[in-house]
Structure 1
Amino acid sequence: MKKPSEQGAATFEDLIGLGSQSARKSYYPELERKVHELEQERNRYKWLFENALHGIFRAEMTGGVLAANPAIASLCGYASPAEVIEQVRDLSTQLFVDPGEFAAIRQMLLTSERLTGYETRLRCRDGGTVDVAMNILLKRVDGGEIIEAFVADYTERKRARERLQQLNAELEQRVAERTEELLELNEQLRLARDAAEAANKSKDKYLAAASHDLLQPMNAARLLVSTLRERALAGQDGYLIERVHMALEGAEELLTDLLDISRLDQNAVRPDVAEFSLQSILEPLAAELQPVAASEGLQLKLQQSSLSIRSDSRLLTRILRNFLSNALRYTDQGRVLLGVRNRDDRVSIQVWDTGDGIADSKLEDIFREFHQLPDHHAGERRGVGLGLAIVDRIARVLEHRIEVSSRLGKGSMFAIEVPRARGPVSFAAPAQLSPPIDTLAGTRVLVVDNDENVLLSMCALLEQWGCELSVARDCEAALALCQAEAPGVEPQLLLADYHLDWGRTGLEVVQALRRHYGEGFPAAMITADRSADTLRLFREQGLPVLPKPVRPGKLRALLTHLLQGG
């Protein structure tokens, strides 16, 4: 029995309803089940604690380790968790490497009660260190500060991160070095480009100078031979002069082709694209080659066209002249047709012949340098096989498509396709410039050229036509001569070579004389320089041009045209 003093006091059993024996008996099964579940849960946590891959420990904030699992013992180099508990009696000096850092950790925990993913270094049993990442919880128990920590070995991750940082640094260094190399290479490329451009300009100048220097003696020879051809020569003299004339034509054609192919290979030819009437180049071409066709017993037909196109008239004319020349050369009998076909926004300009034709296997070869087909002019002068090679290069410069078709024994068709003009372009038929031979009688002509042989040849031809000649070798001499002439006997027109000595040009002579006589003073340029820039310069100045070697027929026609105020 309870003492009287205890009768009023409630026991623990009374509080949970087990105050009587019968009540205790009725709750035993339930208690046993709960105790069993608690035991299982404790064992499960114990198993997780002891077998966790990450280290776990419980410690007093200002003391040592209270509990540790095998993972933390292994991580820090201890033989067992008991050894950790036994030896780590002060966290700040025996577990954490830096006591100052542990003080900072404590301060952070007092503020937020937890740290997540905190990276630090723990001291190992042998004095070494290990890099770890920790999640730490702060708990206050009976007025004390207890921490529970979950520790992951961060060594490999740190090494990987450091390696990644090192790789990034190396990559940045390599990128910087490569960038520097590229900048240096770009600078070298720029210098190489500048050198190449300078070389191209030098080659352009060389080609212009070569054209001038090579064609100067040929120009003088052609003028002298033309002068002799117009005279009545006795015996074999006329025949011999004709053969010299043919030889000069062959040499001129060869030299012109070689210079053209060189300029095209050096990218020294730049197209001067404009819109113009197709008929404006077809009619002069047909008129130029009609005598050649007649001498071969062939018909040269021209199909009239009202179309306008967009191209470089000079380069396109060169292509068509080569087509026509080849057609006349390789056609025995029949005719050659210069025709046009409209193809929507493009125009196909075609040259048809009735020659022997070309085998399909040879169609690609004919555009190679120095490739020739046998022609029917046995024993006569033949080209060297550059005509179609020049055509191919010019077409690529113009971005025009070439078309070829042929049938053996039937003939061939060569065509070039050009874009149509965006709008209509008017065309005025050229005036007939074939004056009688005495039209130039008494015409006062000033000729300026730095080559003595050219001056003598030009004088011989023009005086034979009845002209009165004045000659000079530079701008100053020409201007002094004009200033010294009495009124009424001054020159009526000027023929000036473009390239003179010491870098001077015939353009300076034209400008000086026009300042002296007035802007309308008739003048023409004679040059071997066929570059697009030079020809554009002449057009801007409104100056007609005669290419070297000068053809007497074109020279006479030009002089008459200038006298008529053209």
Structure 2
Amino acid sequence: MKKVTDPDGFSVSQLLGLGQQSARKSYYPELTARMAELEAERNRYKWLFENALHGIFQAVLDGPLLTANPALAAMLGDATVEVTLARCGSLAALFAEPEEAEGVAALLRRHGHLQGHTTWLAGSDGRRVPVALTLLRKPNQGEEILVEGFVADITERERARQELLALNARLEARVRERTQRLEQLNTDLAGEVAERRLMEQQLRAARDLAQEANRSKDRYLAAASHDLLQPLNAARLLVSTLRERELDADSLRLVNSIHLSLEGAEELLTDLLDIARLDQERIQPQHECFPISRMLCGLVAEYAPRAQRKALRFRCVESSVCLNSDFRLLGRVLRNLLSNACRYTESGGVLLGVRRIGAMASIEVHDTGPGIPADQLQAIFREYHQLNAERARHRQGVGLGLAIVERICERLGLAISVTSTPGRGSCFAVRVPICAPQAEHWQRPELLLPAGPLQGRRLLVVDNDSSILVGMQALLEQWGMQCDVAHDLEEVLMLDLPPPDALLVDLHLDAGETGDQLVAKLRRHWQLPRLPAVVITADRSDAWRRRLADGNIPLLHKPLRPGRLRAVLSQLLRQ
């Protein structure tokens, strides 16, 4: 029986050449079985052709589109296969672009097949359908080249590709945007760096100006302190001389008032200079091991007379321990504490003592003064803080003494504490490390030095300030000493003086000569290499202190405190 889909309109029987002999097919059982198998195979192929998921078509390479399956029609958007065959009359019409059809034909002629070629087919309503195309050239059947095509719809893949391209485009746009932002940030950063460099240059210039201003201030303070302390020192010496003379009550009261005023001015200047040097860290500790008795001796000689003038008891508890600290700075701390104790105590007494606590020595200053409220125990160490100083007549000093004490203790690494009972008195304690005594330490002197070592002793005073010489001569002669004075070495040699028992020399003399140089010259002049000498100065620099300490020359700062001077001279002349 002839079927519509049979090639060239022939039935299977006709293809086999049986023709009208089908009536005799019962005589050919094997042939009948073979025909059944062929028919079954043909039906299976037809079923696969019509139900395949991918599009299938047959066409002449340069001719018409012969057949197509429903999957291809659906892929192209056509309702039926017939619509597809009618719309695409040729193989070339199946492609969306004519030049693409020519290229495919050329490849097929050259290679005989084409596999996985991606292209666009012409869909209905002008749509372009992305596909993966596989073409097979069938064996030659005359002059026409038959082609079988297998078409896979890659619309989803193409959509994913397009989305990927769009995503890549967005990413590239973001990268460009970020790059532009980074470039802008780099430009801004370069501007900030340039601005910072300019600021650093300005800061360095400002720092240099500030340092130069500090150096200028230091020079001014040094000059001002020297110029101010020189006349103050002369006045203090003269007033101290008057205080030790027998005067009537009115004169003595006036002299004591002058003494208190000068003492206040001296402490103000000294405290201001010290606080400035501490803030600039120009004071560097020089630790050494020394016997505490060496320090107590000078403190007692300096402050016992001061307490006695106020009718206060002054007692010192001796100790033989050796301390590891800076002798000068620790002495400054204790002098400030003793000065406050004597100043604010009106009745009772002052006690200076040493208590051993393990490896530490607690140096304590007790007084029977007005005491300190509990809520003020920390505030008293602030600068310019004074208790009960709401009125000017209650103020004593400017409130820098304890601030200096605290800063020096911090610099030395020492702990300071205070306990107080209002109305009964206070106790300030400084803890200092104890060290093992050494053979070269001084022998423990007597704490209360008599005035005997100064009586009848000869002292040479050299200072380029005539007022200092007048005041110093009057004070020393008041103590029973013989005092010669001179302005420089030339005047000393002109006077042709006998060797004195000790020298008291100013540090900065005329013509750039210094006190230590003058001491060395006078020792050579009298051939007394161990002639005792003391240098006095308003210069508080560490460099001069170390230089004089290396030369084993005691140093006293202006304005001189008579008690301190007397203690040092007594110590030198007793050796």
2:367 matches 1:373: no
Task: Name the residue aligned to 2:26.
Answer: none
Which of 420, 430, 436 is equivalent to 2:452?
436
- Any conservation in 2 of the 1:337–1:352 contact (CA below 8 Å)? yes
Moved more, 214-223 or 497-506: 497-506
Return the index of the structure with the highest Cα Rg.
2
Kindly provide the amino acid, as one letter, of the partner of residue 424 in structure 1. A
Q: 1:359 to 1:187 in 2, by over 3 A?
A: same
- Residue 39 of structure 1 aligns to a residue whose secondary structure is coil
Q: In the alignment, which residue of structure 2 is the partner of 1:183?
A: 197
1:387 aligns with 2:401: yes
Partner of 1:210: 224
> Helix, strand or coil: the match of 1:252?
helix
Given the superposition, is the C-alpha separation of residues 380 and 38 from structure 1 closer, same or farther in structure 2, using an over 3 Å criterion? closer
Structure 2 gaps, min length 5: 1-14, 18-31, 57-68, 77-91, 104-131, 138-156
The equivalences for 1:383-462 within 5 A come to: 383-418=397-432, 420=433, 423-426=435-438, 427-431=441-445, 434=450, 436=452, 439-441=455-457, 443=458, 445=460, 447-462=461-476
The one-character-per-residue Cα deviations of 1:499-553 (angstroms, maximum 9, x if unpaired) are 3457654344345556666665543211122233332232123221122122345
Q: Is the 8 A contact 2:291 2:442 kept in 1?
A: no
With the length of structure 2 as denominator, give the TM-score of the two structures: 0.64
Q: Which residue of 2 aligns with 1:467?
A: 482
3-state SS in 1 of match to 2:387: coil
| Superposition pairs of residues 132-531 of structure 1, within 5 angstroms | 152-153=165-166, 154-232=168-246, 237=251, 240-265=254-279, 267-305=281-319, 308-331=322-345, 333-340=347-354, 348-374=362-388, 382-418=396-432, 420=433, 423-426=435-438, 427-431=441-445, 434=450, 436=452, 439-441=455-457, 443=458, 445=460, 447-462=461-476, 465-467=480-482, 469-473=484-488, 478=489, 480-481=490-491, 489=498, 493-500=502-509, 505-510=514-519, 512-513=521-522, 520=530, 522-531=532-541
1:302-326 CA-partner distances (Å, limit 9, x unpaired)? 4555655544332332222222333
Report the CA distance between 1:219 and its aligned residue.
1.4
Distance in structure 1 (CA, Å) of the matches to 2:209 and 2:192:
25
Offset at residue 217 of structure 1 (A): 0.9
Give me the whole-angstrom Cα distance separating, in 2, the residues matched to 1:504 and 1:270: 26
Structure 2 residue 30 is matched with structure 1 residue 20: no
Closer, same or farther in 2 for the Cα pair 1:370/1:511, shift >3 Å?
Answer: same
In 2, distance between residues paired with 1:224 and 1:380? 27
Unaligned runs of 5+ in 1: 4-17, 51-65, 69-80, 92-136, 143-147
Q: What value does the CA root-mean-square deviation take over the aligned residues?
A: 4.7
In 2, are the aligned partners of 1:293 and 1:299 still within 8 Å (CA)? yes
TM-score, normalising length: structure 1: 0.65
Q: How far apart are 1:211 and its partner, in Å?
A: 1.9
Q: For residue 318 of structure 1, give the secondary structure of its aligned residue in structure 2.
A: helix
Partner of 2:543: 533
Q: Provide the C-alpha distance between the structure 2 equivalents of 1:90 and 1:188, rounded to a whole number of angstroms.
A: 77
Report the residue type matching 1:458 in the other structure: M
Partner of 1:547: 557
Alpha-carbon distance between aligned partners in 2 of 1:176 and 1:213, rounded to the nearest angstrom: 54
Instruction: Tell me by how many angstroms 1:20 deviates.
Output: 2.8
- Aligned to 1:428, the other structure's residue is in SS state coil
| Residue-by-residue CA offset, 1:356-388 (whole Å, 9 max, x unaligned) | 43222333443344443359xx99994343322
Residue 551 of structure 2 aligns to which amino acid in structure 1? Q
Aligned pairs, number: 458
Shift of 1:214: 1.1
Residue 561 of structure 1 deviates from its aligned partner by 5.2
Range that drifts further, 340-349 or 247-256: 340-349
Structural mapping, 1:63-102, within 5 Å: 82=96, 85=97
Whole-angstrom CA distance in 1 between matches of 2:386 and 2:420: 16
Does the Cα contact within 8 Å between 1:204 and 1:263 map onto a contact in 2? no
How far apart, in 2, do the equivalents of 1:430 and 1:439 lie? 23
Contact 1:355-1:412 at 8 Å conserved across structures: yes
Are the aligned partners of 2:347 and 2:368 in contact in 1 as well (CA < 8 Å)?
Answer: yes
**Percent identity at matched positions?**
41
